[in-house]
Amino acid sequence: MRSDSAKKGFERAPHRSLFYATGLTPEELERPIIGIVNSFNEIVPGHVHLNKIAEAVKAGVRIAGGTPLEFNVIGVCDGIAMGHIGMNYSLPTRELIADSVESMVDGHAFDALVFIPNCDKIVPGMLMAAARLNLPAIVVSGGPMLAGRYRGRDVDFITVSEAQGSAQAGLITVEDLAELEEVACPGCGCCAGLFTANSMNCLTEAIGMGLPGNGTIPAVYAARLRLAKQAGLAVMRLLEKDLRPRDIITPASVRNALAVDMAIGGSSNTVLHMLAIAREAGVPLDLDTVQAVSDSTPNLARISPAGESRHHMQDLDEAGGIPAVMGELLSLGLIDAEPACVGADHIGDLVRGRSTGNPEVLRPACDPYMATGGLALLWGSLAPEGAIVKQSAVPEKLLKHSGPARIFDCEEDAVAALVAGSVAKGDVVVIRYEGPRGGPGMREMLAPTATIAGMGLADSVLLLTDGRFSGGTRGAAVGHISPEAAAGGPIALVYEGDVIEVDIPGRLLELKVDGTVLEERRRAWSAPEPRIKEGYMARYARAVSSASRGAILD
């Protein structure tokens, strides 16, 4: 066992004395040491219950003959961090999580690992660590929050975000907003729609690193605790078989995960994270591959924020969850059944024969919402390295659009202009210098999209950025434009009133300005001063790569 290097032999007597100081017995030290990597904290709704999940995991490990030892990692709540300096730190915590897990695991010679994440950057950060360390490992998330209920309808965090825009526009009262905000998020779990956290927890299943139900079983259900115990049992089987993350995360399983992503219409941020996870696993992945999977995969679900039905994660769970999604795709030959997974010898063993249990929530493969996936990659003179849009959440009339650019060099200026009523129907709002380097940290910008939706402009205003959008975004919002403005990308050269053309079905994003004019503008352009000049974020800005490469650290 790997842990023998820290506990066996005459020369390890000092080490054993420290293990005994924690309350361990000699019998426990004889067993495999299983690291329980927990992101529990008391500020994030998705994490406040993870101590209970961890106890269930540890019970499973002990039943199977292992010794579980828990340590914690950080976790930022994107919702609480949204709209202020906190959001600069959200994406960069992904790298901090991966690095800190590596440090703890290699520092203490664990034999195998159970990862307990929830919420946006924690899931990919832990998957990156699993791939990097390549020890037998399994992921069991804390699960999604239930939808709230407001005046007879299901609501969620995004409902509140959009309602604040409606309140600013005078469309609802302050009292209405206050009533809504108290009931929208009824308890623990990651926010109830198919936002980034739930998208990544679903893809963890699809890629083979989580057991069936990992992405969809609600946080408050007893089934979530049973799943955690099963994960504790499963990690011991993985250790016995010596099945490791790089045996599971392969080109075939990555394509499976991308196909599920397109079928359910996951967050646009999933592409950013899949690029980073694949890199850690040594799997080649680029945006062309993502687009190819999207072009061949039908969109089968419209979970909040997509569509008008406002279905939530509990509805997808009741419809059969990710096994049903994968079963439907397998019927079309769009899933590879052979990759290994943590719950069976092959992923096909878990999904073969599964189908939707509710066609209103999860459509059968023969009757999709769209013939292509929920996400689309765009290229063109404004985005030579690509951009991304959640096309399943775009109003039909904005799938093709041409309009004048309204230029804002930060999120706050754009929101102020929207609230002031100075953005007109047909405008193309451009928010730049919000990329990985320029932000720094590539802030999610829920406030502009929610304000646009709340003010009734979602079907008439297009929003573009080199930053990111929340997984809860709906409307015509194109993000990850690369190269970013801070790197001198074409988005830095757009002037007020320039015509921008977007053709989502045609995968085009064009700046309709003559090349010679752009060259003159480039000669006059100079990089702005960094917004944060010291500490972690300053170091991050100097080392981070383009969004087209996953915003990884070089």
123-178, pLDDT tens digit by residue?
999 999 999 999 999 999 999 999 999 999 999 998 998 888 888 878 899 999 99
> Tens digits of per-residue pLDDT, 181-237?
999 999 999 999 999 999 999 999 999 999 999 999 999 999 999 999 999 999 999
- Contact criterion met (CB below 8 Å) for 408 and 417: yes
> Tens digits of per-residue pLDDT, 321-354?
999 999 999 999 999 999 999 999 999 999 999 9
> Tens digits of per-residue pLDDT, 242-252?
999 999 999 99
Contacts of 110 (CB under 8 A, 6+ apart): 2, 3, 33, 34, 35, 69, 135
Contacts of 333 (CB under 8 A, 6+ apart): none
pLDDT at res. 309: 58
pLDDT at res. 525: 97
- Mean pLDDT rounded to a whole number for the chain: 95
Whole-angstrom distance, CA of residue 27 vs CA of residue 14: 17
- Active-site pick, 199, 268, 304, 470: 470
- Nearest CA-CA partner of 482 in 379, 400, 376, 374: 379
Instruction: Supply 132's token pair.
Output: 């990097």
From the number of C-beta atoms within 10 Å of its C-beta (0-12, 13-18, 19+), residue 337 rates as middle
Can 355 be counted among the known catalytic residues?
Answer: no
